[in-house]
C-alpha cells in the first residue's frame, strides 16, 4: 500500500483523535515522509505523550500552533512547516482541533458561544487559508490529476451533531455552541470544496464517530484506535466524487 500522502499536518495532536492520527500515520507500513503534529504547547506537560511518540518516529515533527485563531502563531507554524518541506508543498491538512460545549438555551452565555465558534468554525478556515499556498504548491507539484489526499486536501473533522438534516438528540443534548459551530464548519467545508476543486485541492468533512477521548468520554462506544483506523481508510479512498462530502469514519454519507 502506498503512503496516504507525502506530507500531513494534524492540528490538536497532543491528545485524543489527533494524537492517534499521528500515531497510526507514523506506524503505517508506508508512513508519510513528514508528519507535522501541531499543538498549543509542544514543550509543556500537555505535549508529553506527543513528545514521547515523536522520539520514536523521525517522521513526526512537533510544531507549535498556540491557538487555531491566533494568526501570528498560525503563520509561525506555516514557516516551520515550509522550512522542513523546502521546495515541496503540503499534501494533507487535517483540521482536527476542536472543543465541545454542553450549553443549553438557558445556560448559554455569549462569551462561550463566541469562543466555541472561534475554535470550531473560524480556526479551520483560518488555518486552511494560511496553508493554502503550500497546498497549492503540492497540488501543482505532484504531477497527478484528479483529487486525492495524496495530491492536496483539507479534511475538517466534524460531527454528526452538527448535521441540521439529522438534528440528532437535540432535546437530550442541546449543545447549542458545539452543534452550531460545527454546522458552520460544515458550510466552510462545502464552500472550500467548490472553490478549491479547480486548483486540485480536495475538501471533505469527516465525523469520527462517538469516540472515547476527553471530549467523547468513557461512555463512547468507539475506541480512538477504531475510529482513526476507519478515518485513515476513508481518507485513502477519497476522490473528486467525495470532495465536498460529509462522511463518517466508515465512509457512510451523512446529510448536512
Ligand atoms: N470524541 C468524539 O466523540 C468526537 C465526536 C465527533 C467529533 N469529534 C471531533 O473530533 C475532533 C477531536 O476531538 P477529540 O475527541 O480528540 O477531543 P479532545 O480529546 O478534547 O482533544 C481536542 C484537541 O483539540 C485541541 N484544541 C482545542 N481547542 C483548541 C484551540 N483553540 N487551538 C488549538 N488546539 C485546540 C486540544 O488541545 P489542548 O490539549 O491544548 O486543549 C486537543 O489537542 C474535534 O474537532 C471534535 O469536535 C469528536
Domains of the chain: 7-99+118-159+179-248 (3.40.50.720)
Specify the residue with its C-alpha closest to ligand 1, atom 43: 12
Euclidean distance between CA atoms 206 and 97, whole angstroms: 13
Helix (H, G, I), strand (E, B) or coil at 18: helix
Euclidean distance between CA atoms 17 and 228, whole angstroms: 7
Separation in Å, CA 210 to CA 74, 218, 223: 29, 10, 9
Q: Give the torsion sign (CA, 72, 59, 235, 87).
A: positive
Specify the residue with its C-alpha closest to ligand 1, atom 5: 210
pLDDT tens track of the chain, all 256 residues? 578 999 999 999 999 999 999 999 999 999 999 999 999 999 999 999 999 999 999 999 999 999 999 999 999 999 999 999 999 999 999 999 999 999 999 999 999 999 999 999 999 999 999 999 999 999 998 777 899 999 999 999 999 999 999 999 999 999 999 999 999 999 999 999 999 999 999 999 999 999 999 999 999 999 999 999 999 999 999 999 999 999 999 999 999 9
Q: At what angle do helices 176-196 and 110-117 cross, to 10 degrees?
A: 30
pLDDT at residue 145 in the model? 85
pLDDT at residue 142 in the model? 74
Query: Candidates 98, 210, 249, 254: which one to mutate for ligand 1, based on the most atoms within 8 Å of Cβ?
Result: 98
pLDDT at residue 1 in the model? 58
C-alpha cell read off for 248 = 463518517
Of 90, 130, 111, give the one whose Cα is nearest residue 177. 111
**Ligand 1 pocket at CB < 6 A:** 12, 14-18, 39-40, 46, 67-68, 96-99, 119, 157, 159, 207-208, 210-211, 213-216, 220
- Confidence (pTM): 0.98
- Atom of ligand 1 lying closest to residue 161 CA: 6
Euclidean distance between CA atoms 185 and 221, whole angstroms: 25
Amino acid at each position: 500500500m502506498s503512503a496516504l500522502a507525502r506530507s500531513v499536518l494534524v492540528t490538536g495532536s497532543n491528545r485524543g483523535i489527533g494524537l492517534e492520527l499521528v500515531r497510526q500515520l507514523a506506524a503505517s507500513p508506508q508512513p508519510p515522509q513528514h508528519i507535522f503534529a501541531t499543538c498549543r504547547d509542544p514543550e509543556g506537560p500537555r505535549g508529553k505523550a506527543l513528545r514521547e511518540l515523536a522520539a520514536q518516529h523521525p517522521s513526526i515533527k512537533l510544531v507549535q500552533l498556540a491557538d487555531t485563531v491566533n494568526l501570528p502563531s498560525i503563520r509561525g507554524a506555516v514557516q516551520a512547516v515550509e522550512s522542513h518541506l523546502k521546495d515541496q508543498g503540503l499534501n494533507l491538512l487535517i483540521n482536527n482541533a476542536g472543543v465541545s460545549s454542553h450549553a443549553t438555551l438557558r445556560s448559554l452565555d455569549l462569551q462561550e458561544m463566541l469562543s466555541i465558534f472561534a475554535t470550531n468554525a473560524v480556526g479551520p478556515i483560518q488555518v486552511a487559508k494560511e496553508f493554502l499556498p503550500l497546498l497549492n504548491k503540492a497540488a501543482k507539484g505532484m504531477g497527478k490529476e484528479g483529487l486525492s489526499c495524496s495530491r492536496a486536501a483539507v479534511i475538517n473533522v466534524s460531527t454528526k451533531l452538527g448535521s441540521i438534516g439529522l438534528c440528532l438528540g437535540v432535546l437530550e443534548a442541546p449543545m447549542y455552541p458545539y452543534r452550531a459551530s460545527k454546522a458552520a464548519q460544515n458550510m466552510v467545508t462545502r464552500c472550500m470544496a467548490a472553490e478549491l476543486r479547480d486548483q486540485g485541492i480536495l475538501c471533505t468533512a469527516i465525523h469520527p464517530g462517538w469516540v472515547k477521548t476527553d471530549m467523547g468520554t468513557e461512555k463512547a462506544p468507539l475506541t480512538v484506535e477504531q475510529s482513526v483506523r476507519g478515518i485513515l481508510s476513508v481518507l485513502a479512498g477519497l476522490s473528486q466524487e467525495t470532495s465536498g462530502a460529509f462522511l463518517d469514519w466508515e465512509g457512510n454519507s451523512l446529510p448536512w
